[in-house]
């Protein structure tokens, strides 16, 4: 390889030593807050963690027992690229139980977290240059994965003016009409949910226009206003993305699943085998037992419900009264513009002065996110109570 010369300088730089342009995506700013919170904890200072996007509970007991048994009896080798048949069957049954729809096992694809599912499904559904629309605020990895794959991300405003819920009217207004749309309900960071009729209209609108809908259903099972419908109740064109991370309380097991339309199955199979060989075998063997654990998992949801009630009561009294719906998931997205127009600097300061760790809105919205912060209520109730108290003293001083 020929050395390249830096413009204006004489230092030789080996050609190819620079990172690719496609890797220039933004970091998760909240990770910096996590790091600072951990450093505080290590120094013996108090920390109230409302930044974590994960349950504070471990995997259900039945899953941990199944993992222990599998370690003794199974060699934990590679599995089929699309997942072990008993797990695919258990997910198909779960889909029947929860939504009353029959999904053939062949359409259920196990993935390495939903994050691995996004990669596989975006690659299977979209080409370089395809336009994919997503809501702003929204989960930042959609934008960053799509951009790194060479797709054109088209963000549409989905803020307080529309109560954070997209509709067919929102999609109809998109110009140019995208090749794909990714929607989450319940959504991160807002907890907003798309109603049953509205979701049906969106699925029909996309199907009629050949727009591929990716339906992120990661927070299903965690909702406070009735169960969330799946996009597959209204058609088999969408790709449904789901995961064991949130309701099933298994973030670190890195296991998710897709419901894949027939016409994409071969593509997903080829890509999955090449990109990851298979999802983690031990996690798959253990996750078969997850569907016995609804009572234990519903207790977690009851705790989230209590925490949510506590925050929705207490936050207005401490000066945070403009809040997104929080109908599902375990987040409250709060307008903090009375205190800052720089959410990252603000959450850094709040952590430094109170020990309360929050996620900056900037992670979820590069336009209006500086006016917002996300509070997670997935944690311990006592810690959340203390967080409200110290944050209240700080904001009302
Ligand atoms: C909306 C949403 N989708 C996807 C993910 C990724 O989750 P995982 O890869 O653990 O399944 C997250 C994680 O926070 C999320 O909030």
Helix (H) or strand (E) holding 335: strand 331-335
The distance between the two most distant Cα atoms of the chain, rounded to a whole number of Å, is: 68
Nearest ligand 1 atom to the CA of 138 is 1
Q: Which protein residue has the closest C-alpha to ligand 1 atom 14? A: 53
Give pLDDT, residue 160: 96
pLDDT above 70 for 14: no
Lining residues, ligand 1, CB within 6 Å: 53, 113-115, 139, 184, 188, 216, 218, 243, 245, 251, 256
Tell me the pLDDT of the chain averaged across its residues.
95
Give pLDDT, residue 397: 82
Q: Which protein residue has the closest C-alpha to ligand 1 atom 3? A: 218
pLDDT above 60 for 352: yes
| pLDDT per position as a tens digit, 206-218 | 999 999 999 999 9
Give pLDDT, residue 193: 98
Q: Which protein residue has the closest C-alpha to ligand 1 atom 7? A: 114
What is the C-alpha separation between 281 and 262, in angstroms, rounded? Answer: 25
**How remote is the CA of residue 6 from the centroid of ligand 1, in Å?**
40
Q: What domains sit in the chain, N to C, each tagged with a CATH number?
A: 3-58+295-395 (3.40.640.10), 61-293 (3.40.640.10)
Give pLDDT, residue 249: 98
Q: How many CB atoms lie within 10 A of CB 71?
A: 12
Give pLDDT, residue 43: 96
Give pLDDT, residue 142: 95
As a whole-number percent, the residues of the chain with pLDDT over 70 amount to 96
Give pLDDT, residue 15: 57
Kindly state the average pLDDT of the residues 132-136: 98
Candidates 54, 97, 37, 63; CA nearest to 357 is: 37
What is the C-alpha separation between 318 and 356, in angstroms, rounded? Answer: 14
| pLDDT per position as a tens digit, 23-75 | 999 888 999 999 999 999 999 999 999 998 999 999 999 999 999 999 999 99
**How remote is the CA of residue 218 from the centroid of ligand 1, in Å?**
6
pLDDT above 80 for 2: no
What is the C-alpha separation between 270 and 246, in angstroms, rounded? Answer: 28
**How remote is the CA of residue 60 from the centroid of ligand 1, in Å?**
19
Token pair, residue 353, equals: 């002065």
Q: How many CB atoms lie within 10 A of CB 68?
A: 11
CA dihedral 61, 62, 67, 69 (to 10 degrees): 120
Give pLDDT, residue 4: 43
**How remote is the CA of residue 84 from the centroid of ligand 1, in Å?**
22
- DSSP lists the bridge partners of residue 109 as 258
pLDDT above 90 for 203: yes
| pLDDT per position as a tens digit, 311-350 | 999 999 999 999 999 999 999 999 999 999 999 999 999 9
CA dihedral 53, 58, 61, 67 (to 10 degrees): 100
How many alpha carbons fall within 13 Å on the CB side of residue 2? Answer: 3
Q: Which protein residue has the closest C-alpha to ligand 1 atom 13? A: 53
User: pLDDT-derived band of residue 125, with 50, 70 and 90 as boundaries?
Assistant: very high
Q: How many CB atoms lie within 10 A of CB 32?
A: 15
What is the C-alpha separation between 326 and 238, in angstroms, rounded? Answer: 25
**How remote is the CA of residue 373 from the centroid of ligand 1, in Å?**
18
Sheet with 372-376, edge to edge strand ranges: 331-335, 372-376, 359-360
| pLDDT per position as a tens digit, 143-166 | 999 999 999 999 999 999 999 999
- DSSP lists the bridge partners of residue 375 as 332
How many alpha carbons fall within 13 Å on the CB side of residue 99? Answer: 19
Helix (H) or strand (E) holding 214: strand 212-216
pLDDT above 90 for 88: yes
**How remote is the CA of residue 251 from the centroid of ligand 1, in Å?**
9
Q: Is this prediction's pTM over 0.85?
A: yes
- 113's torsion region: left (phi>0), alpha (psi -120 to 50) or beta? left
């Amino acid at each position: 390889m020929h050395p390249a010369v830096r413009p204006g300088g004489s230092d030789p730089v080996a050609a190819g030593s620079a990172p690719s342009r496609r890797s220039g995506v933004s970091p998760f700013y909240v990770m910096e807050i996590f790091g600072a919170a951990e450093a505080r904890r290590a120094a013996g200072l108090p920390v109230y963690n409302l930044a974590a996007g994960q349950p504070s509970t471990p995997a259900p007991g039945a899953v941990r027992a199944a993992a222990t048994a599998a370690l003794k009896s199974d060699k934990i080798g590679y599995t089929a690229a699309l997942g072990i048949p008993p797990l695919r069957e258990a997910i198909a049954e779960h889909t029947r139980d929860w939504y009353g729809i029959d999904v053939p096992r062949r359409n259920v694809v196990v993935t390495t977290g939903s994050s691995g599912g996004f990669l596989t499904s975006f690659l299977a559904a979209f080409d370089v240059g395809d336009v994919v629309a997503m809501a702003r605020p929204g989960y930042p990895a959609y934008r960053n994965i799509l951009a790194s794959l060479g797709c054109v991300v088209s963000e549409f405003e989905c803020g307080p003016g529309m109560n954070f819920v997209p509709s067919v009217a929102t999609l109809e207004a998109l110009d140019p009409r995208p090749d794909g749309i990714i929607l989450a309900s319940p959504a991160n960071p807002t907890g907003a949910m798309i109603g049953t009729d509205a979701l049906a209209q969106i699925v029909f609108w996309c199907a009629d226009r050949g727009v591929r809908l990716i339906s992120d259903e990661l927070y299903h099972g965690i909702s406070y206003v009735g169960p969330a419908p799946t996009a597959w109740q209204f058609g088999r064109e969408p790709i449904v993305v789901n995961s064991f991370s949130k309701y099933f309380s298994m973030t670190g097991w890195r296991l998710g699943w897709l419901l894949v339309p027939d016409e994409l199955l071969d593509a997903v199979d080829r890509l999955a085998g090449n990109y990851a060989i298979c999802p983690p075998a031990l996690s798959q063997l253990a996750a078969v037992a997850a569907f016995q654990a609804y009572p234990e998992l519903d207790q977690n949801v009851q705790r989230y419900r209590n925490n949510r009630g506590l925050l929705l009561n207490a936050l207005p009294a401490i000066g945070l009264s403009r809040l997104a719906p929080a109908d599902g998931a375990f987040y409250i997205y709060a307008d903090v513009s009375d205190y800052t127009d720089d959410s990252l600097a603000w959450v850094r300061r709040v952590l430094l002065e109170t020990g309360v760790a929050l996620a900056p809105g900037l992670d979820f919205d590069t336009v209006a996110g500086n006016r917002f912060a996300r509070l997670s209520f997935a944690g311990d109730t006592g810690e959340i109570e203390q967080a409200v108290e110290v944050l209240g003293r700080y904001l009302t001083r």
